[in-house]
Amino acid sequence: MIAVRDLVHRYGDRAALDGLSLTVADGEFVVLAGPNGSGKTTLVRHFNGLLDPDEGRVEVDGRPVDEHPVAARTSVGMVFQDPRDCFVAATVGADVAFGPENLGLDLAEVDRRVGEALAAVNMAGRGDERIDELSGGEQARVAIAGALAMEPDHLVLDEPLAGLDWPARRATLDRLAALHAGGTGTVVVTHDLRDVIDRTDRLVVLREGRVALDAAPAEVDGDRLAGLGVRPPRGTGRDAA
């Protein structure tokens, strides 16, 4: 479980998170939305200790992240907005193996994890391919496999769909849905709810560093979302794509 209480994070003297509280249960699929600058990236970077709170607490499985960063990083797998920024190797298999290798696991275990992670994102058997020769959608899936190979309890993806075309977007969402069905808790950060909203029971919207909405999508109407600075998923936007 990820538990955030009264979290304040400042850049300089400006609070990007301003007393935010949120709990994400194990196995839960949460869509975290909000306009640009609302604090989404700042928030999720606290989940595994990439940022520390100025005030308040962030706990993973009951342990404060700033005191137990290794435990948090093992429990929470993070996939960043631009996958190119987080690839560390030239080939698919070497990149996905990097995290498990750094856990000090033996070769057979690393191979097992790499195989399962690639299969989970529909990239089985493609470990020898060069990452820079893959499509954007395939690169996004390799980045997800890299996080999965750590066998996290929670997978947190910061704008995983940005820059993907529609088939790649749907393929990635299908993989995430399958992972969630298999028990992985999933937090998808996005400012664009199209296609995502139908796949979640819980929509959290940030605004100015606080939780402005936390509800089942079926309970939320488009006007409410628009008022929070989030483009509603239905209507002209979806049709336009």
From the CB of 42, what's the least distance to ligand ADP, in Å?
3
Short-list 147, 166, 51, CA closest to 95: 147
Report the partner that residue 37 touches, choosing among ligand ADP, Mg ion, none (CB closer than 5 to 8 A by kind): ligand ADP
**Which position's Cβ is nearest Mg ion?**
41
State the residues that interact with ligand ADP by CB under 6 A.
11, 16, 34, 36-42
Q: Are 142 and 171 in contact (CB under 8 A)?
A: no
Shorter beta-carbon distance to ligand ADP: residue 36 or 236: 36
Report the partner that residue 75 touches, choosing among ligand ADP, Mg ion, none (CB closer than 5 to 8 A by kind): none
From the CB of 6, what's the least distance to ligand ADP, in Å?
17
d(CA 107, CA 105): 7
Q: With CB under 5 A as the contact rule, which of the stretches 10-18, 33-41, 100-108, 172-180 interacts with Mg ion?
A: 33-41
Residue 194, classed as helix, strand or coil, is: coil
d(CA 171, CA 140): 10
Give 91's DSSP letter.
B
From the CB of 163, what's the least distance to ligand ADP, in Å?
15
From the CB of 39, what's the least distance to ligand ADP, in Å?
5
Shorter beta-carbon distance to ligand ADP: residue 41 or 74: 41
Shorter beta-carbon distance to ligand ADP: residue 42 or 139: 42
Shorter beta-carbon distance to ligand ADP: residue 32 or 92: 32
Q: With CB under 5 A as the contact rule, which of the stretches 10-18, 39-47, 49-57, 135-143 interacts with Mg ion?
A: 39-47
Shorter beta-carbon distance to ligand ADP: residue 39 or 93: 39
Q: Are 32 and 92 in contact (CB under 8 A)?
A: no
Report the partner that residue 42 touches, choosing among ligand ADP, Mg ion, none (CB closer than 5 to 8 A by kind): ligand ADP
Binds Mg ion (CB under 5 A): choice among 41, 48, 184, 190: 41
Strand order in the sheet with 202-207: 76-79, 154-158, 185-189, 29-33, 202-207, 210-215
Classify residue 36 as exposed, middle or buried by CB count within 10 Å of its CB (0-12, 13-18, 19+).
exposed
- Residues 6 or more apart whose CB falls under 8 angstroms from that of 29 comprise 176, 177, 180, 185, 186, 188, 199, 200, 201, 202
Residue 162, classed as helix, strand or coil, is: coil
The residues of the shown chain that bind Mg ion, judged by CB under 5 A, are 40-41
